[in-house]
Structure 1
Amino acid sequence: MFNRSHLLLVLVLIAAALLTFYKIPIASSQGLTLVSAAVEGDLPLTDPDSALWNQATAVDVPLSAQNVTKPFLLESKIKSLTARTIQNGSQIAFLVTWADDTQNDSLVRVQDFRDSVALQFPLAEGQPFFCMGQQGGNVNLWLWKADWQADINARQDMDTQYSNMYVDQYPFADPAKGIQAGVADYTDPNYVPAMASGNLFASPLHASPIEDLIAGGFGSLTAQAADNQNVQGFGAWEAGKWRVIFSRDLASSETDDVTFVPGKTYSVAFAVWDGANGERNGQKSTSQWVNLQFGSAPQPVGVKEQVEPQKPWWQTTQVITLFMFGVLAVLFIVGAFIYSRLPE
């Protein structure tokens, strides 16, 4: 017999399905806003000391240990970071700083883990789950890696960790190239299949210390193709502090990239890994969503301002949200009426 317990279960399932389908979070953080200051001229893509950064307001972003899914981080060593952002109408740059007593920028040894920091942007309206997004709510991630930065500065390999080791040559490669040998230096690419396939992890040289990725929930993190890696970066450690710059064009033709339009509000979340604490993969310190706003940037000569097509009023997020809460209210009233007439 259909009773009150069955009715409550049906109503809860309907409400959950509606909230999931329309990607309406039950709760979200509204506390922090990061404003991208409009500046003129070229952005300081590799200069964290540039005076242009002073035109942006620094925002302190609290972090907490990721303990939603395995592998958990039991205790966060990095409690917060500071973020600034500037843009000039064609490019945007972020400066992220945080305190870290140790510089962990090598993965040559299996017992070592790197320092890293990531930015995350929703690819659709609304705010999906702040840890890697969710099904139907993909996110674009920019992941800076300290070891990739070190490789750009000076390539690291076994001989940099163990200076007394000896290798007569790398098989099937140009002996003069040594650890710098690329695919073209091997007479048979079958001996370096990962490198030959364009695997970013196997590349002997990195064009950028940042990996451009996409995710739609835990276990779905995927690197974009090598040709689509369009985020540049720079990081430097000094006196117990990392300072990392992320930069990219405001617009992108890639479907898996976030595209920025000055004047519109976005969301951004942060994550930091402390290599000295053995952090990797899901073991990280994360933030909640932070509002990202854009000022009116000066338009370069000959470049038209991007204008986002205006949606019909019935397709706006506010109207959809109000409609859904109206539907839930009607369900509650109807459910209460039926509930009062059902047997216990």
Structure 2
Amino acid sequence: MLSRTRLLLFAILLLAAALTFWQTPLVSSQGLTVTAAYVDGDLPADDPLSALWEEAAGVEIPLSAQVIVRPIFPETRVKSMTARSLYNGESLAFLLEWEDATDNSQTVRVQDFRDGAALQFPLLEGQPFFCMGQEGGNVNIWHWKADWQADMLAVGDVETVYPNMHIDYYYGTEESDDPRTAAYTDVAYVTARAADNLFAAPLRTTPVEDLIAGGFGGLTSQGMGGQNVQGYGVWQDGRWRVIFSRALTSAEAEDASFAPDKVYSVAFAAWDGANGERNGAKSTSQWVSLQFGKAEVAAAEQPAAAKDKPQRLILGHTPLWWTVLVLTTLLIFVVIGTLIYYRLPE
């Protein structure tokens, strides 16, 4: 005989099955949406101060310390950042801005750590864990590094910090050779460079490393041939302004690709080198929605109030009408279940 207890158990199992089928998280992110504004022409991929960025509404993204795995810094310094996005039908760009009292772009000494920022995109439908993804839920990470940005202007090395350093002798060089230059041209003494390690690259074409991850400990670089994300960062008046840009689509299987008619998830991270933050010691956001503004409506024609009004997150990458239908169906089941519940014996 059906009782109230059995009905409750059946309802719980039905709800769990529905949440699993629709991949609906019990706790969603902050309800924020970054809307990529459409612009006609080239994107300001190397100009954080361009007036074009004003075409996109800035969204304040809350950040908090990563406290799951070591190293853990309970008090990271970057508490929030402002995110904007633009696209032109071919490429997509993001501008991140956050407060930072110091410019940490020199990491020659072992006690120095860089400032940095990162974007993260799921490679599959749904939202994996917002810190580095999870097994079976890989993520594509774009990691901008302040020291790589500095290297693109002038490569720093040990002599940059210690100009009076002394070098005795390197095997394979003549006495007349200047060991300070000869050593750096022989890969026998720079094995990381011989192995195409990005950290030892003599010349950089981008300050952003393109990576993938499938959980903690699974971060993997896409290597020399897979670096197709560009970036540009400027520190001025105690504030970092960093641009990420890439083509909307990519032929690489481990890259996120974007279509303007769809909604995506993006997560943010930041490091303050002056606080010793590095690797897992960072500030992170939860998943935030990323959508694209319509190309046929110029940003200047949009009402200011509508442009600045924050939008709610569309969960599960589904259209709004589908979300309303699901919620209405659940409400009907709740009402029917309640009526049946009170008619049954205890």
TM-score by length of 2: 0.77
- After superposition, the C-alpha distances for 1:244-297 in whole angstroms (9 at most, x for unaligned) are 000000010011100011121111110000101111111101111111011234
Superposed CA deviations along residues 93-128 of structure 1, whole A, max 9, x for unmatched, are 111010000111111001111100000011111111
Match of 1:269, SS? strand
Structure 2 CA distance, aligned partners of 1:171 and 1:20? 63
Alignment correspondent of 1:110: 110
In structure 2, the CA distance between the partners of 1:159 and 1:34, relative to structure 1 (3 Å rule), is same
Tell me if structure 2 keeps the 8 A contact 1:170–1:178.
Answer: no
Could you tell me which amino acid in structure 1 is paired with residue 41 of structure 2? Answer: G
- Bigger drift between 27-36 and 279-288 goes to 27-36
- C-alpha separation between the residues in 1 aligned to 2:232 and 2:179? 26
Q: Which residue of 2 aligns with 1:236?
A: 234
Counterpart position of 2:57: 57
Return the alpha-carbon distance in structure 2 between the equivalents of residues 120 and 24 of structure 1.
Answer: 20
Rounded Cα–Cα distance in structure 2 between residues aligned with 1:218 and 1:246: 24
> Mean alpha-carbon deviation: is it higher for 199-208 or for 18-27?
18-27
1:156-192 per-residue CA deviation (whole Å, 9 max, x = no partner) reads: 001110122234776658967956987xx42xx4443
Task: Give the superposition deviation at 1:17.
Answer: 10
CA RMSD of the aligned region, Å? 3.6
Q: How does 1:1-344 map to 2 (within 5 A)?
A: 24-167=24-167, 172=172, 178=180, 185-186=185-186, 189-297=187-295
Question: Match of 1:91, as an amino acid?
Answer: S
**1:179·1:204 contact (CA, 8 Å) conserved in 2?**
no
Contact 1:231 1:247 in 2 (8 A): yes
Could you give the per-residue CA deviations for residues 134-169 of structure 1, whole angstroms, max 9, x where no partner exists? Answer: 111111000000011111111100111012223477
**Cα deviations by residue, 1:195-218 (Å, 9 ceiling, x for unpaired):** 112111121221110000001111
Q: What letter is aligned with 2:67? A: N
Structure 2 unpaired stretches of 5+: 1-10, 297-316, 338-346
**Would you say the 8 A contact 1:25–1:128 is kept in 2?**
no
SS in 2 for 1:119: strand
What is the percentage of aligned positions where both structures have the same residue? Answer: 57
Structure 1 residues 78 and 180: CA distance shift in structure 2, 3 A: farther
User: SS of 1:212's equivalent?
Assistant: strand
**What SS does structure 2 have at the residue aligned with 1:264?**
coil
The offset of 1:225, in angstroms, is 2.0
Is the contact between residue 81 and residue 96 of structure 2 (CA under 8 Å) also seen in structure 1? yes
Is the Cα contact below 8 Å between 2:167 and 2:179 reproduced in 1? no
CA-to-partner distance for each residue in 1:49-86, whole Å, 9 max, x for gaps?
A: 11111101011111111112222121121111011110
Distance, in Å, in 2 between the alignment partners of 1:216 and 1:16 is: 25
Distance in 2 separating the partners of 1:156 and 1:35: 37
Question: Unaligned stretches of 5+ in structure 1?
Answer: 1-10, 299-315, 334-344
C-alpha change, 1:41 and 1:133, in structure 2 (3 Å) is: same
Q: Distance in 2 between matches of 1:120 and 1:57?
A: 20
Give the secondary-structure state (helix, strand or coil) at the position aligned to 1:261.
coil
Calculate the TM-score normalised by the size of structure 1: 0.78
Alignment partner of 2:102: what SS? coil
